[in-house]
Chain A
Amino acid sequence: MLVNNFLLLGALLFCIGVYGVIVRKNAVLVLMSIELILNSVNINLLAFDRLWADSGNNDGNVFALYIIAVAAAEVGVGLAMVLLIFRNRKTISLDDLSEMKG
């Protein structure tokens, strides 16, 4: 198997995720797109880990696990924020959240 199979798949998923982050308006969907991006990174890490796995080196696996844990934390806090926003404004459309406008 070519290592590029996995790397290109990761790149493709990453770009789809980026597209989702830019295009989507619903906050929950934006979070889902971010999950896509994180998964593509994990595929990359594991592919490289397997590529250089000869010497019993499995750092990639460790990082992938840590990324999964961080992603779980991120979703938890992210959705809590979305809930709070929804409760305060009755909408989770990111368009309506533009207090940061310069």
Chain B
Amino acid sequence: MLLASDIQVAQNIGFGIIALVMVIGALRVVTSSNVVHAALWLIAVMAGAAAQYLLLSAEFVAVTQVLVYIGAVMVLFLFGVMLTRAKLGKDVDLDNAGAWKIGAPVALLLLGVMGYVLVKGFDDTKIAVSGEGSTVGQNSLLSDKIFSTYALPFWALSFVLLAAVIGAIVLARKD
């Protein structure tokens, strides 16, 4: 018997809408002839990704995605656009002439290979619905992992960030 809760209609519809927005946004990012528009479309993709994380019950990552990507990284991008004095409005000189002749086949080839492998490998594997008392998405577990098992990569990462901060200052300052 096919139960509604097995198909998860609402989730599937939600996924479909968000995925559609993301794909359209991503396509516009790589085809738009206006740098600022491309950046704005990228925000849509990021926000869509955050929504997908919520569907996957990864709330903390979703919030981080909004804070870091939409909040910080995108502002950085817009600053980059501004400081490099990109043309406002249309700019015909954003793409390599004729590069789509290489890019499209490569991208399609990749998509074909990956799609084939995924369909073959995970044919109709379902994500199980978590029952009562499930610990899925519990943030205390996440913090336990970060600060015990993965504490060393955490430190390495903080070092990377420090190096990036110093590197960015050294590279970008004027003298």
Which residue numbers of A lie inside 8 Å of B, CB to CB? 1-9, 11-20, 22-29, 31-33, 35-36, 39, 42-43, 46-47, 49-51, 53-54, 56, 58-62, 64-66, 68-77, 79-84, 86-87, 92-93, 95
Contacts and interface: CB of A to CB of B under 8 A. Distances in A.
Interface string B23-59: 1001101100001001100100110010011011110
- SS class, residues of chain A in contact with chain B: helix
A14 B110 contact: yes
23 contacts: A3-B125, A5-B15, A13-B23, A15-B110, A15-B114, A16-B27, A16-B30, A19-B106, A22-B106, A26-B91, A32-B29, A35-B42, A35-B69, A46-B56, A47-B127, A50-B136, A58-B141, A58-B145, A59-B150, A61-B60, A75-B73, A76-B168, A86-B84
A74 to B, nearest CB: 8
B39 to A, nearest CB: 7
Contact of A61 (B58, B102, B153): B58
Interface string B102-119: 111011101100110011
Nearest to A19: B107
Contacts of B142: 58, 61-62, 65
Contacts of B128: 54
Contacts of B161: 69, 72-73
